[in-house]
Amino acid sequence: AQKITQTQPGMFVQEKEAVTLDCTYDTSDPSYGLFWYKQPSSGEMIFLIYQGSYDQQNATEGRYSLNFQKARKSANLVISASQLGDSAMYFCAMSPTGFQKLVFGTGTRLLVSP
């Protein structure tokens, strides 16, 4: 069975600073995808970034980068230059082989202060 662990229930960061949100996963699948989603207070799920298990390089999307360490089974999200609008709930998720489902962690609430 697949499992995602997010050990930080809440994180605080000052505007313009970088922050790392932790995510570890457990799977026996040889091929899988790792995702990060943002959920603002309005409730929608916003896709941020994707990393395939066989990708050699860490994924980046603008201010978001995914620090993928396969041997450690970790997929941390790094947000550079935090903005007030980054305040939200962040979910790490994994899709095992076949991509029929996403397995989510319990989320990390990020608060960005001025």
Partner 1 sequence: EAQVTQNPRYLITVTGKKLTVTCSQNMNHEYMSWYRQDPGLGLRQIYYSMNVEVTDKGDVPEGYKVSRKEKRNFPLILESPSPNQTSLYFCASSQEAGGTYEQYFGPGTRLTVT
CB nearer to partner 1: give 4 or 75. 4
Q: Which two tokens stand for residue 87?
A: 């305040």
The position carrying tokens 């089974």 is: 73
Considering CB under 8 A, how many residues would be counted as binding partner 1?
22
Please report whether residue 96 would count as binding partner 1 according to CB under 8 A: no
H or E element at residue 76? strand 74-79
Which of positions 15-74 make contact with partner 1 (CB under 8 A)? 33, 35, 37, 43-45, 47, 50, 52
CB nearer to partner 1: give 17 or 99. 99
CB nearer to partner 1: give 41 or 114. 41
Instruction: Give the residue among 21, 36, 22, 30 at the shortest CA–CA distance from 2.
Output: 30
Q: State the Cα–Cα distance between residues 5 and 22, nearest whole angstrom.
A: 8
Closest separation in Å from C-beta 67 to partner 1: 18
Which residues touch 70 (CB under 8 Å, ≥6 apart)?
53
Q: Which residues bind partner 1 (CB under 8 A)?
A: 4, 33, 35, 37, 43-45, 47, 50, 52, 91, 93, 95, 99-107
